[in-house]
């Protein structure tokens, strides 16, 4: 199938992609093989085959670098560096702390890229070598010195790879940092992969595409439209997490992609009316505090109702405190203690953050996954009031996603799936207690079926071996059962 995009160029972003035909949600724009796949930068010790964090009790029998078992030892992904390390007798030093960053692993993906430039020189020359690497900007960052030691010196001196110049090695590191996408191995652990055509898309904090990368198919990428896109319109992906406030997204983009985002969402103090950055005014009743210029992190923030003002720097500090509290929340992931901790934080921030603030949305997202699953909070345990709570959480998240991840987004598909169970159980429970009649039950269950249909439409685009693809199959089964059960209800 021919690609449905072409490349153009403008001063503000460099090269970018535009669609060459009208696209509908879920239409495939292109499929692309990875040029290289490998571990992320600044990682803890991970298996070089599947990226699972390892305790280094098993090491590759040829090169001594970390892999998790004999199968990953013979993974074709590990073969290139294995040969280099073995030939140079460059052994992996098992770090004392296995939960800390392992600088030795910084060289692995750049080395795979450099070796691929030789083994696949045609594609390297045509698609990869001129990719944006932001060399000048990166020279001024602390990463540069680390890279000089951990990658450039290590490869040229310790691994005797003088044939790769210092400049070329830094370029390889820059190309990876600026362009690589996160990939998930079949075991579900994350690494990074370089997809040169897909990487040409510009960033927008509200994207109009979504990509899936399938590990069982050699990390093949499939890029689809998520919304209607007209012929000639720019195609966007988002280089950052969408559930973050503007100030933090822009900081992340500047730190890792070296540009100041000025997309419509970033430029709007209300974030397209989602208020994902807005604070509540504590000095008056109804006021909302928003930035006077969201494209300037230092600009003043003012209340819409009173004279209260905050400096950008103060808002940043508030966000930092909140982020630290969220990161340090008590309770293991998935436990009942975690539910209680999240509910407590939601209550605590209610007086400070706008109800749709990004941090509240992040907390709601975690909570929506826990109700129905955590011990003591499984669906059998949930009283109606908590079923309603889960429904409310999912609906609040969806109202934000409608704006920032419109159309066929994976997150939307997953939240719709989360929403269907409590809605269905709640309707059945009301019916059982005689609070709703046959017709209302039917109407409510038909509503649930619609939600499931949408979840299936979105998630069945994912590979059936991946998490979301598995959920798609469960959603499809639930939909069949629900339809059968609706059919047994008395006709209206
Ligand atoms: C993955 S590359 C995209 C392709 C790149 N434009 C090129 O010509 O190779 C990412 C880089 O493109 C530029 N870029 C992408 N989206 C942008 C945006 N919304 N605003 C400004 N620059 C952008 C930045 O320089 C960024 O580091």
Question: What six digits make up the tokens of 205?
Answer: 């904090």
Dist. CA 14 → ligand 1 center (Å): 6
Give tens-digit pLDDT for 119-178: 999 999 999 999 999 999 999 998 899 999 999 999 999 999 999 999 999 999 999 999
Q: Which residues surround ligand 1 with Cβ inside 6 Å?
A: 12-16, 131-132, 134, 178-179, 199-200, 202-203, 257-259, 261, 263
Pocket probe for ligand 1: among 178, 221, 237, the residue whose CB has the most ligand atoms within 8 Å is 178
**Location of structure tokens 């900081």:** 251
Judge contact between 492 and 439, C-beta under 8 A: yes
Q: What are the residue ranges in the chain where pLDDT is below 50?
A: none
Work out which ligand 1 atom sits closest to the CA atom of 15: 8
What would you measure as the largest C-alpha separation in the chain, in angstroms?
80
Work out which ligand 1 atom sits closest to the CA atom of 204: 19
Dist. CA 108 → ligand 1 center (Å): 25
Nearest CA to ligand 1 atom 14: 13
d(CA 61, CA 460): 40
Map residue 365 onto helix, strand or coil. Answer: helix
Q: Provide the pLDDT for residue 393.
A: 98
Work out which ligand 1 atom sits closest to the CA atom of 257: 27
Phi, psi angle pair for 171, to nearest 5° = -65, -40
Pocket probe for ligand 1: among 8, 11, 132, the residue whose CB has the most ligand atoms within 8 Å is 132
Nearest CA to ligand 1 atom 26: 257
List the end-to-end C-alpha distance of the chain, in Å, as a whole number.
48
Judge contact between 5 and 235, C-beta under 8 A: yes
Dist. CA 86 → ligand 1 center (Å): 38
Dist. CA 216 → ligand 1 center (Å): 29
Pocket probe for ligand 1: among 259, 260, 262, 263, the residue whose CB has the most ligand atoms within 8 Å is 259
d(CA 81, CA 75): 11
Q: Provide the pLDDT for residue 1.
A: 65
Q: Provide the pLDDT for residue 285.
A: 82
Dist. CA 195 → ligand 1 center (Å): 14
**302 Cβ contact partners less than 8 Å away, ≥ 6 residues apart:** 289, 290, 292, 308, 309
ipTM > 0.95? yes
Q: Provide the pLDDT for residue 327.
A: 94
d(CA 169, CA 325): 39
Q: Provide the pLDDT for residue 430.
A: 95
d(CA 428, CA 393): 20
Give tens-digit pLDDT for 70-96: 999 999 999 999 999 999 999 999 999
d(CA 192, CA 57): 24
Nearest CA to ligand 1 atom 9: 132
User: What is the sign, positive or negative, of the torsion defined by CA atoms of 272, 278, 281, 282?
Assistant: positive
Dist. CA 7 → ligand 1 center (Å): 13
């Amino acid at each position: 199938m021919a690609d449905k995009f072409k490349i153009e160029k403008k001063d503000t972003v460099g090269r970018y992609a535009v669609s060459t035909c009208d696209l509908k949600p879920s239409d495939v724009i292109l499929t692309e093989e990875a040029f290289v796949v490998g571990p992320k930068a600044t990682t803890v010790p991970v298996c070089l085959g599947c990226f699972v964090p390892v305790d280094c009790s098993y090491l590759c029998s040829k090169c001594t670098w970390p892999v998790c078992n004999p199968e990953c030892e013979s993974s074709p992904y590990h073969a290139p560096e294995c040969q280099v390390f073995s030939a140079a007798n460059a052994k992996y030093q098992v770090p004392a702390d296995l939960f800390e960053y392992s600088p030795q692993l910084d060289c692995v993906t750049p080395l795979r890229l450099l070796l691929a430039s030789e083994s696949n020189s045609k594609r390297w020359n045509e698609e990869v070598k001129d990719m944006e690497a932001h060399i000048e900007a990166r020279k001024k960052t602390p990463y540069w010195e680390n890279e000089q030691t951990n990658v450039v010196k290590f490869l040229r001196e310790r691994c005797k790879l003088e044939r790769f110049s210092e400049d070329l090695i830094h370029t390889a590191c820059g190309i990876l940092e600026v362009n690589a996408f996160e990939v998930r191995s079949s075991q579900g652990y994350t690494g990074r992969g370089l997809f040169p055509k897909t990487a040409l898309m510009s960033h927008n904090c509200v994207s109009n595409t979504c990509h899936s990368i399938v590990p069982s198919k050699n990390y093949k990428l499939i890029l689809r439209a998520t919304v209607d896109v007209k012929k000639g319109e720019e195609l966007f992906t988002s280089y950052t997490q969408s559930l973050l406030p503007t100030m933090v997204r822009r900081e992340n983009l500047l730190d890792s992609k070296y540009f100041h985002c000025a997309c419509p969402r970033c430029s709007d103090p209300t974030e397209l009316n989602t208020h994902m950055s807005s604070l509540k005014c504590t000095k008056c009743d109804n006021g909302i505090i928003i930035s006077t210029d969201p494209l300037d992190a230092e600009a003043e923030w003012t209340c819409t109702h009173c004279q209260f003002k905050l400096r950008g720097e103060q808002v940043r500090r508030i966000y930092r405190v909140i982020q630290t509290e969220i990161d340090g929340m008590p309770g293991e992931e998935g436990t009942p203690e975690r539910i209680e901790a999240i509910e407590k934080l939601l209550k605590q921030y209610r007086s400070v953050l706008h109800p749709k603030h990004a941090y509240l949305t992040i907390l709601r997202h975690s909570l929506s996954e826990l109700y129905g699953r955590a011990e003591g909070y499984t669906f059998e345990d949930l009283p109606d009031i908590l079923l309603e709570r889960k429904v409310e959480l999912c609906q609040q998240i969806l109202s934000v996603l409608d704006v920032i991840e419109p159309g066929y987004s994976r997150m939307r598909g997953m939240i719709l799936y989360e929403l269907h169970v409590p809605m269905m159980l709640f309707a059945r429970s009301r019916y059982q207690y005689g609070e709703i009649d046959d017709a209302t039950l039917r109407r409510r269950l038909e509503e649930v079926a619609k939600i499931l249909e949408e979840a299936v439409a979105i998630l069945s685009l994912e590979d059936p071996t991946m998490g979301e693809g598995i959920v798609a199959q469960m959603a499809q089964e639930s939909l069949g059962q629900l339809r059968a059960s609706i059919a047994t209800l008395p006709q209206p």
